[in-house]
């Protein structure tokens, strides 16, 4: 499977966002990951649709913008992020009793936007099974969402393996505490897409780190826990 590496803008120098977005564009990464927090679904606030617009006009044409909505009401905002240039919008399946997952997925598809379904560390793989037909990717959180710089939760690895067993061709992404060791563990379990914030932005040479991460994940992918 194709391995994808996604730097997370949450770990960027917030005073130089334009430069940091350009750094990601030049790094050889596959997409930029944009975290949106509402202070309700998670106890923090982060970026807005205007940040998505800044990303869009700073990134080269065609560069993927992967937008992760950590918000209680994604139905009210997902299309705004699509309008501002997100190429994937991810929303959380913990909300499946209050959010119409299929309707929101259909609204995104109608705009030619990819659909990502996100799972918190405690949410089982089975929560995603009924919706795999509308998912372009499943995002497995490997930290409790809300903050960058937390430690990778290895207890999520069996869930990744369960999803991979169920959906051999699905894009399975991990997000939280990803570095070049934890990414290898996730790749072995079956993840093929890797969001990394603090690890990649701390590098003096982001491009070299992206290339190394990609090589290591390619070698480890699907090799088993
Ligand atoms: C956490 C966010 C992540 C965050 C990851 O709530 O969803 O995307 O940026 O940061 P690191 O890689 O530092 O754990
Ligand atoms: Zn994220």
Q: What is the CATH number of domain 4-220?
A: 3.20.20.70
- What does pTM read for this prediction? 0.98
Closest atom of ligand 1 relative to the 200 alpha carbon: 12
Q: Which two tokens stand for residue 75?
A: 């139905």
Closest-CA residue, ligand 1 atom 4, reads 148
Residue 36 has phi, psi (to 5 degrees) of -115, 120
Catalytic residues, by residue number, are 35, 175
Q: What is the pLDDT of residue 49?
A: 98
pLDDT (tens digit per residue) in 183-215: 999 999 999 999 999 999 999 999 999 999 999
What residues pack around ion ligand 2 (CB closer than 5 A)?
A: 35, 68, 175
Pairs from 52-56 (Cβ < 8 Å, separation ≥ 24): 52/81, 52/84, 52/85, 52/86, 53/84, 53/85, 54/17, 54/18, 54/21, 55/9, 55/21, 55/85, 56/84, 56/85
Q: State the Cα–Cα distance between residues 168 and 148, nearest whole angstrom.
A: 29
In this prediction, residue 223 has a pLDDT band, given cuts at 50, 70 and 90, of very high
Contact call for residues 68 and 34 (beta carbons, < 8 A) = yes
pLDDT (tens digit per residue) in 35-90: 999 999 999 999 999 999 999 999 999 999 999 999 999 999 999 999 999 999 99
Q: How far is CA 220 from the centre of its chain?
A: 20
| All structural domains of the chain with their residue ranges | 4-220
Q: State the Cα–Cα distance between residues 196 and 199, nearest whole angstrom.
A: 6
In this prediction, residue 225 has a pLDDT band, given cuts at 50, 70 and 90, of low
Closest atom of ligand 1 relative to the 68 alpha carbon: 7
In this prediction, residue 224 has a pLDDT band, given cuts at 50, 70 and 90, of confident
Q: Using the mean position of ligand 2's atoms as its centre, give its distance from the Cα of residue 166 in Å.
A: 23
Q: Using the mean position of ligand 1's atoms as its centre, give its distance from the Cα of residue 196 in Å.
A: 7
């Amino acid at each position: 499977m194709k391995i994808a590496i996604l730097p997370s803008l949450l770990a960027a120098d917030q005073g130089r966002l334009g430069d940091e977005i350009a750094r990601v564009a030049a790094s050889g990464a596959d997409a930029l990951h944009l975290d949106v927090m509402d202070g309700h679904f998670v106890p923090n606030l982060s970026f807005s649709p205007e940040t998505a617009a800044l990303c869009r006009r700073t990134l080269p044409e065609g560069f993927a913008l992967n937008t992760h909505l950590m918000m209680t009401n994604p139905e009210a905002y997902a299309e705004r992020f699509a309008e501002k240039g997100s190429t994937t919008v991810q929303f959380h399946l913990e909300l499946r009793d209050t959010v119409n997952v299929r309707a929101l997925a259909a609204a995104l598809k109608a705009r030619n936007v990819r659909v990502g379904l996100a799972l918190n560390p405690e949410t089982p793989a089975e929560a995603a099974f009924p919706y795999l037909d509308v998912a372009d990717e499943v995002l497995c959180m490997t930290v409790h969402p809300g903050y960058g710089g937390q430690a990778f939760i290895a207890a999520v690895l069996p869930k990744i393996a369960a999803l991979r067993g169920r959906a051999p061709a699905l894009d399975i992404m991990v997000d939280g505490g990803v570095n070049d060791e934890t990414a290898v563990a996730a790749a072995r379990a079956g993840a093929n897409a890797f969001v990394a914030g603090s690890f990649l932005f701390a590098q003096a040479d982001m491009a070299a780190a992206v290339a190394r991460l990609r090589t290591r994940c390619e070698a480890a992918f699907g090799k088993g826990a």
